[in-house]
Each structure stands twice: as structure tokens, then as C-alpha cells.
Chains A and B, each alone.
Chain A
Amino acid sequence: MRRYLLPEYIVERDDLKCTRCKICVEQCTYGVHNYNAIKNMIESRSELCVDCLRCVLFCPVNAITVRRNPNVYKENYHWTYEFITSIKRQADTGSALLSGMGCDKQNLTYWDKLLLNACQVTNPPIDPIREPIEIRTYLGGKPKMLEFEFNDEDITLGTKLGPCLCAETPILFAAMSYGALNLNVHEALARAAVDCGTYFNCGEGGLHPSLYKYSDHTIVQVASGRFGVDLKYLSVGAAIEIKIGQGAKPGIGGHLPGEKVSDDIAMVRMIPAGTDAISPAPHHDIYSIEDLRQLIYALKETVEYTKPVAVKIAAVHNSAAIASGIVRAGADIIVLDGVRGATGAAPKAIRDNVGIPIELAVASVDQRLRDEGVRDEVSLIASGGIRSSADVVKAVALGADAVYIGTAALIAMGCTLCQKCYTGKCPWGIATTDPEISKRLNPEDAYKRVVNLVKAWSIEIKEMLGAMGMDAIESLRGNREQLRGVGLTDRELEILGVKMAGE
């Protein structure tokens, strides 16, 4: 059958500049560029291009331009290019569409409609260069009150504190599995977590033995497939996260196709090589808050109550009620993953249409837990599409204790958001387990880039706190008085718990 798809991008080459070095031919994992020896020319098959820009960046003479195909369908607000293309593709294959990374639709980002406060005249700002600003964040349940014992001179803490994670910055690395990513990426994230005094989450595919040395900075995940989960795995992590759902595909499980299950991945997941690794949508033992409690306490028993247990859910319509149940189930940390949350592969229909923005979810969960007087019993991590230090600060002001970043860390390593992670041919050597392509990611470089990003954001967070006259991020948590909204309806402002700018 002839395919009816327009090439999405056009690849152009300045033949006068081109030295025929063939770097673009080697760099493209999609086979766009080919050298024609007879003509002594590089030819490009535009229809294969995914706009990853690898060749553009690697061409030593800047001879390549990739641009959107100017041939468009007749303008139609309803039948957009995307819908027409999707239909044509599905008519070709009869398959559900997959996509990589997070939802890219308009109107689901509230960060840009929220503005931060700063001190003027009546309350002086703090200069972070000369005064310490505390951004260390403890994640886990906190006692409502502290009791002290006084014996003569000595004062000791009487309250028994539960286990907490101590992050030097409120930025952690989100769960991304070995299998979706290669070991170089995991190693870079793990090392960056150690350097930044924060945590990396190994995701649901187990933890490679070579990374056990970073386990003090590792959060281990337990998902429905229970891949790689054994006593040792649970015991080495700094915390355990139960994955119920993720923002990119709420209500959907995970599926690592058999061809990606190499010997090494099979070893870490503890399954035979070449078989599909299926994480079903539900945990087979969790159908209620009581059941969730059962798993939380099974894990707590296993590690003898020495580590916090987190529960990660996708932000959905009734997140606030669910979160309230999760607190009752005994979780120490709740992770809320919003509609922008990314993944290696998600059904496109789910990715773009299921779940709610993280900003609204954080605000409503924080409010609900406060109203019920249980906010102290858990920490809240916001996740899904955090793009900048300002997003972090706004998330904290809305009620989060910390954030997870995934996409941002990958962008720091080279990702250009081409959304083709599910093909396994990531040209930047990130979302691929192909041994040859994986070599493109130098773990040393990648680690440094991620450390730089977290350092830069941490400085900016301190600057924004200082501007608001705060010397500790604690003072900002849930402090929505520091936020104002623009371009929002009354109802939106009400749910976010913020006033209109100017008020």
C-alpha cells in the first residue's frame, strides 16, 4: 500500500559548504543521509527525518538546515495537520499510536500564568551572596510536635522521628528505568545525585549492580511488574517508591518490548532475555487504600522501618481524595505526576488527553491535606514538566516540598525532545539500549551537565527566595501569598489558591 504521509521535515544541505565528510551519515540513526559516490554528494531522505537536530549540530561547517515541511494541508482549525497525519498513519497500520516524552498540547501549563512576589521597602530582601539561604529539604513524615527531655544540663529530643530523605536541594531525578534508558544515563544521573546531595530514582526496571555504590542516593521503585525487586534491592535504596501511576500515561502500565530486553537488562530485571517485560496497569494486590497500606507496610517490614516509602500517582481528577487516602495508608512521601510528565513510550491518545496539570493537582492536594490536618504526615513531590528554577519555586509555593525532574535532566544531557524515544534509536544516546548508539552518551560529560543544571537552578532558587525575603525554602512551602495569577478565571485562581495579580 502506498503511504499517504507528508514528510514532516525538509532537510536541506548547502552543497557549496559541504565537505563530504560524511559525519551526518554516521550520526543519523534514522538513515536520512547517504553518500552517493557516483555523484560525490550527500543525499537526504527528508521523509525519514524526526527533527532530532543531531546532524545539524555535528556538521562541522553548519551546512545543514532542517525545517518544517512548508507543504501543509489546506488550513483548517478543526482538522489540524496532527489529526490528519494520525488518521493516515493509523489507516496504514491499524495500530494504536505511540509517542515519546510528555504531552505537548497547548493550554495545560499554569506556571507561566503564575508570578512570584518580591520585597520592596517595607520588608527587605536578602542577598544570597552574603547571607545563607537554606534550601535543604527533608522528605518524609514529620511529627506534629517535638518533645524534649531535660535532664540537668542535657536536652535530648524525646520524639522519635521517622525516616526522612535529606536533599541538599529540592530537586530530585524522576524515575526512569534501565531499559527505557541505557546504563550510561543511569550512571550519569546517579553520580549527579551524589554530587548534588540529592536522589536519583532507578525506575521500575531494577538497579544495575554497578550502581549499588550510589545507593545512598538512590530511590528504588516497586511497580506492578516487580522487576528486579528482591530483598537486596529494597535494602540498598535510600527510599522505596511504589509506582501506582505516571503522568504521561495515567491508568496504563509499562511495556518494554522483548527486543530491548538484552542480556544485561534481563539480568537487572531478573527475567529471561528477549521476553516482553510487562508492567500491568494495576498492581494485582492493590484495589483499595487498605490494599495499598498492605504493600506499604510489607515494604516497611522488609526494611525494618528504616526508609521512607513513597507512593507515586498520576495527577487525575480526584487526586486530592486519593492523596488523602495515601496518607492514611501510611506513605511518607506522595509523588504527584502531572499531565506533562514524560515517558519513553505512551499511547498518544492517553498521553495527550488523560490527567490534569500538576499545578492544579499540587494546589488541591496540599489544600486538602492541610484541611484534614495531615499535611505534616507526608512530603509532597511535584513532577511532570518542570522546566526551570522558577517552576520549582512556584511548585513549592503551591504546596510541594520538592520536585522531580526527568525531561529537564535529559535535555541537559543532549535530548532535543524529538519525541521518538519509543523507537529505541535516540540519536543522542539517551533513550536507547543499543550498545553502539548508547556510546554517544559520555557518562562523564552527561553527569557534569546535569550537575551544572542543578547547581544553576539552586542558585536561582536562592535568589528568588532572597528576593522574597526568605532565608529558608521551608518558609515558602504552601505560601501562596507569594504567588499571583494572570489570565486566569476566578475558579482557576480559587483552585490554585492564589490571588489575581494587582490584588
Chain B
Amino acid sequence: MNDIHGCVKRFEVDRAIIDAKGMHYFELNALLRELSADGIRDVEVYNVYGQRYIGTGLKTPLNIRIYGVPGNDLGAFMDGQRIFVYGNAQDGCGNTMNDGLIIVHGDSGDVAGYGMRGGKIFVKGDAGFRVGVHMKEYGGKRPTIIIGGNVGDFLGEYMSGGIILVLNLSRKEGGGKRSMKFVGVGMHGGTIYIRGEVVHVAKEARVVETDEHDLRLISELVRDFSTCFSLGMSIDEIMSNEFVKVVPASSRPYGKLYG
């Protein structure tokens, strides 16, 4: 084992451990960039207390395992790296992410997946407001967000592509249930699936019945999701509930506004 900066231990050629205690994000992210450029492919970061932008600006593949609570904009503009958070994530995780994976074992804050164009965000617990806001898709890229628990209002706001799946698996007895109002406000593309019922859909979106194709897709997503977490519920049990599908009412919500 090799001590590099005092706070970094390198073991094996391509793996390292960072103790981020007291470290500014500036330092931590520079370290991550340095290590990844140096051939490290797996890094465990301990004592993470709110450092922002972890995983941003990396140019080589890297698996980052975060123990603690990473700060806002986790994986912003990320391009193919994989982040595993053993704790909660804060606001803006996966901001404008192009590719990669963010797996959060706890809850996540607001605006997860803002402007996300590719990759996946899986949150085991609940997520905040405006999940998947302005999420889009292009060419072969179709981003996916799966939230195990429930979410705040404005889910899929301005959404123009990709898939959001909310599983509503209540972790605590009677706790954590949110109102989830204004689902799909300004939505003009993409698909939202919600397990259970949806109370309040915005006027730009509409609820349609799921068909066989949808259910097949959902069960694949649930399978992916359950490989990441122990959910305490089988895929069949999850799939035995009804799913609601929310799609845009029009791909041109502003088409008639101006003359």
C-alpha cells in the first residue's frame, strides 16, 4: 500500500482510498482528476461531508464509492463515470449529465438529473422536488431516473426526453409520503411511470394506460434497480401493483402562444 498525499492510499495498481476529512471540494476533485489520469479506476472516498461537484470534469472511466454525504451538483456534466453513494445525496445530483451512473443508497435532494441527457440515476430512498427537470434525450442516449421511494412536486418539469420511474416503495411505516403535485408541468417529451396512483398531473401532461410494452420496460428497470439495492420486496411483488404512465399532452406546448 502506497501513501500518496497523506490522505490518499493506493492499493493495487488501479485502486485508491481517499480520506476526505476536512478537505475542500477544490482539493478533493483535483485529487480525483489526478488519480484517474494516473490510471486509478476504483476509488473509495471516506468522510465526505458536503463536498460539491464530485465526479465533475473527469475524462477517464472511474468508479467512485462515496461514504458520507456528497454536496450539491454531484456528477455535474459527468461523462461516463460511476458514482456509488453510501449515504444521502444533496441537490442537483447528475446536473446536465451526459453519461454514467449515480447510485444513491439513501435519499436525494432537489433537481436531481437537471438537463440530464444520458446515463442513469438510481435513488433507493426518496427524492426532492423537480426530479428530472428538463431531462432530454438524443440519438442513442436515453437517460433514466429511478426513485425507490417517493418524490416532491414538479416531477419531470419541462421534461423533453428520457424515462423517470417512481416506485413509491415506502421505507418507513406511514412516513415519507409526499403530495407529488404538478407532475409533468411544461413536459413536452419523455415518459414518467409511477407505481400506484398519481394525484395531480399538470395540464401539459396526461395520464395514459400502460400497455404490455410499458410493463416489460418497467420490469426491466425494476430488475436493474433491484440489483443495486436490497429492496426487501421481490420484483414480482413490486410489479403486482398498478403503474401510471404520464406523457406529454403535446410535443409543442407553446405552439399557439404567439401569432
Contact = CB atoms under 8 A, between A and B. Distances in A.
Interface residues of A, number: 42
B120 interface: no
A71 interface: no
B138 A98 contact: no
B36 interface: no
Interface stretch (B2-10, B157-165, B234-242): B157-165
Interface string A20-43: 000000000000000000000000
Nearest to B80: A231
A94 to B, nearest CB: 7
Nearest to A99: B258
Contacts of B257: 95-96
A226 B115 contact: yes
A297 B77 contact: no
A92 B259 CA distance: 9
A301 interface: yes
Contacts of A503: none
B92 A294 contact: yes
A276 B252 contact: yes
B152 to A, nearest CB: 13
B95 interface: yes
Contact of B95 (A276, A298, A347): A298
A275 B259 contact: no
Interface string A255-281: 101100000001100111011101010
Interface in B173-194: 186, 188-189
B96 A275 contact: no
B154 to A, nearest CB: 9
A270 B136 contact: yes
A93 B111 contact: no
Contact of B157 (A95, A230, A284, A303): A284
Interface string A93-132: 1111110000000000000000000000000000000000
Contact of B73 (A225, A270, A294): A294
Interface in A269-312: 270-272, 274-276, 278, 280, 284-285, 294-295, 297-298, 301-304
A315 interface: no
A347 B26 CA distance: 42
B141 to A, nearest CB: 8
B16 to A, nearest CB: 20
Contacts of A97: 258-259
B216 interface: no
A426 B253 CA distance: 25
B189 A298 contact: no
A89 interface: yes
B137 A301 contact: no
A433 B137 CA distance: 22
Interface stretch (B39-47, B51-59, B207-215, B223-231): B51-59
Contacts of A295: 73
Given A97-B258, A284-B114, A285-B91, A302 B136 contact: no
A96 to B, nearest CB: 5
Contacts of A255: 254
Contacts of A316: none
B150 interface: no
B251 A275 contact: yes
Chain A to chain B: the 3 pairs with minimum beta-carbon distance, closest first: A95-B259, A93-B259, A226-B115
Interface of A: 89-90, 92-98, 224-226, 229-231, 234, 255, 257-258, 266-267, 270-272, 274-276, 278, 280, 284-285, 294-295, 297-298, 301-304, 345, 347, 422
11 contacts: A95-B258, A229-B115, A234-B77, A258-B252, A275-B188, A275-B251, A278-B253, A285-B92, A294-B52, A298-B76, A301-B53
Interface of B: 25-26, 29-30, 33, 52-53, 56-57, 59, 72-73, 76-77, 79, 91-92, 95-96, 98, 111, 114-115, 117, 130, 133-134, 136-139, 141, 157-158, 160-161, 186, 188-189, 251-259
